[in-house]
A and B are shown apart, each in its own frame.
Chain A
C-alpha cells in the first residue's frame, strides 16, 4: 500500500504540471486585461508602464516559468523563513495583480471563512444523508423513502442561487429571524456571540448541505439496496442477529465503501468554496476570491487558486483509492 501511494504521488507531478499549464493558457487566452478596471483617466503610456511592472508583456512561457519558480521555490522558502526562522533569500513571491499583495496571504486570510461555512455544510450534509440513505433503502418505496426522493430531487435540481435567495427572502426579509449577510469579522468569545455566529451560519450551511445530502443519500440508498439483497444478509438473519445488527453492521459496512470514496472525492470542493453560495450570502471565502480574480483578470491569483484545487483533487483521488483498499479487504494494491 505504501509503495502504491508513493508511486501515485510521483505520477501526480506531471499531471499537476500539465493541469497548471492548461489553466494558465486558458486564463491567458481569455480577453482580459489586468489594467481594464483602472480609471479611464490613466493615460495609455502609464497603463503600458503598469502592464510592464506586472510582467504581462513578457512572452507567455516566461510568465508561466516565473509563476512556477515563484510557486515551487519562493513560496516554500518564504514559509520556511516564517515558521522555522531560517534566512533564505526568497526573491519575489506570487503577487496578485489586483491588490499587489502576496496571493498566499490572501488565501490564508480567506481560508477560515470557507472552511467554516462550506466544511460545516459538508459535515452536516453527510450526517443528514446517512440516516436518510439507510432508512430509504431499508423501507424502500415507503412514505419516508418517497419523501427522501422528493427532497433529493429538489437538492439536485434547485441551484443555490435560487434556494439561497429564497431562504433569504423567507427567513431574513419576511420573518426577520436570520441575518442575510454573513459577517466574517465576527469573533466568537462567549455564548451570545456564539449564538450570533450560529444564526448567521444556518442559511448558507443549510443551502449547501441540501446539495450534499441529496447526492450522498441517493448514493447510499442505491448502495444499501444492492447489499440488502445479498446472500450474506440472509446468512446474518439465519444466525439470529437482530435487524439492527444486520442492517447497521453487515449491510452498512459494505454499503459505505463506495459512499466513503464519494465523500473523499468531495472534500477538495470544500476548499474550492461554494462560489455562488458565498456570493449570495457575502461570505468572503475562497470561492468569492476566485470569482473576483477571474473578473479582474488577476492571473496569478486564479492560477494559484486553481493549482491548489488541482493538488487537492489529485490528493483526494489518491485518498479515495487508499481508503477503498483499507475498507474492502478484497482490494489490495501491492
Chain B
C-alpha cells in the first residue's frame, strides 16, 4: 500500500484533525417521506432534521420500522418512487439541496461524494459479476479512471479493508466470499471514490458477533485514516455507544432524542430512550428471569402524527401527549428530546 490513496487519506485526515473547526458537511432539515400505498399513505419519515459534521460519526438508533433506513435512502432518493414520495425538506450538501438536483447530478453524488453500505452483504452484491468489476464500476464512472488505474485502485481498496491477496480476489465472484468478507467488499465499494460522507445502513446486523467486531474495527480505523463523516444506522445500542460521537434516536419516523453519546447514555431524557437502555441485558449482578422489553407495538404510521407516537407505550404519558406531537426541546446544548416533560426546561 505505497500508493496514492494513503497519501490522499492522510491529507484528508490532517484537514479534519481535532484542532480544525468542524464544518457541517450534511444538513438535513424538515425531511418528510410518505409512501403512497393502496391502504393509504404511510408517513415513514416525519420532519427529520439533523446535521453531520466533517469527521463525525452519527449513530441513528431505533427499532425496526422507525424510519432509520428510509430517512437515509431519502437523502439520495434511493427509494422506489412511486410509491415513496419526499414531500418536504431540504438536504444541504456541498452548498446544494440534494432533493432539488436532477437525476444526472444526483448520480454524481451517489457513490461519489456519499457512499452507502447496506445491511445484507449476502444479497447486496451482484452474483454474476466479479468483485473486481463491481468495485471498479464507480471508479470508472466518477473518477474517470481507465481500466488499469481502476484495477490498481481496486486492489488498494481491498487491501485497505483487510482482504488478503487482493489482486487475486478481484477475479472472484461474491459467492466465493464469506459474509464478513463480502461486507468488506461493500465497504470498499462505498469508499471507492473517497466519499465525504459514508452512510452505513445496519452494516453489521446480518453478521455474527465476531465478524461484527471486525467490521466495526475496520470502520473505526478507516474513519481515522480517511476522516470522512459517517452515519451509522443500527438498532444495536452497544455498537453505537462504542463508536458514535452523537446519536439520534428515532421512533415513529421522527427523531425523539438527539444528543452526544456521553449525555445520551448517562442521562437519557426521552422515555423511549430510557426504555431502550433498560432493555439492554446487564453483564453484572444476578441474571434476570426474562429479558426486559418495551410493552406494546411500534406505531402504525398511517396518517400524519397528531400525538406523541410513543404515548401509548409510555409510562409517563399524560393528556397533552395524546393531543399534540411534541417538538424537539433543548435539554442542554448537547441534548434535545421530543417529550412534553422537557417543555418546562426548554
A pairs with B: yes
A194 interface residue (CB < 8 Å to B): no
Question: CA of A250 to CA of B124 in the docked complex: distance in angstroms?
Answer: 12
**Chain B residues with CB below 8 A from A276, complex form:** none
In the complex, what residue of chain A is closest to B175 when comparing beta carbons? A330
Interface residues of A in 225-241 (CB under 8 A from B): 230-232, 234-241
Main secondary structure of the interface of B (DSSP, over half): mixed
**Chain B residues with CB below 8 A from A232, complex form:** 123-127
In the complex, what residue of chain B is closest to A329 when comparing beta carbons? B173
| One of B107-115, B271-279, B299-307, B335-343 contacting the partner | B107-115
Question: CA of A330 to CA of B142 in the docked complex: distance in angstroms?
Answer: 30
A311 interface residue (CB < 8 Å to B): no
B118 interface residue (CB < 8 Å to A): yes
A241-B120 contact, Cβ under 8 Å, with A232-B127, A253-B128, A329-B128: no
Interface residues of A in 302-334 (CB under 8 A from B): 327-330
Asked if B126 and A235 sit within 8 Å, CB to CB, the answer is yes
- A241 touches which one: B107, B118, B175 (CB < 8 A)? B107
Instruction: Produce 1/0 per residue, B126-141, CB < 8 A to A.
Output: 1111000000011001
In the complex, what residue of chain B is closest to A227 when comparing beta carbons? B126
B116 interface residue (CB < 8 Å to A): yes
Question: CA of A231 to CA of B73 in the docked complex: distance in angstroms?
Answer: 13
Asked if A237 and B129 sit within 8 Å, CB to CB, the answer is no
Smallest Cβ distance from A175 to chain B, in angstroms?
Answer: 44
Asked if A240 and B142 sit within 8 Å, CB to CB, the answer is yes
In the complex, what residue of chain A is closest to B112 when comparing beta carbons? A240
User: Of residues A234, A239, A242, which shows the largest number of chain B Cβ atoms within 10 Å of its Cβ?
Assistant: A239
A330-B127 contact, Cβ under 8 Å, with A240-B138, A242-B107: yes
Asked if B123 and A239 sit within 8 Å, CB to CB, the answer is no
In the complex, what residue of chain B is closest to A230 when comparing beta carbons? B123
A238-B175 contact, Cβ under 8 Å, with A231-B123, A232-B124, A232-B127: no
A254-B111 contact, Cβ under 8 Å, with A231-B120, A235-B118: no
Known: A231-B124, A238-B78, A240-B109. 11 other contacts (CB 8 A): A231-B120, A234-B118, A238-B76, A238-B111, A238-B116, A239-B138, A240-B112, A250-B129, A327-B128, A329-B128, A330-B175
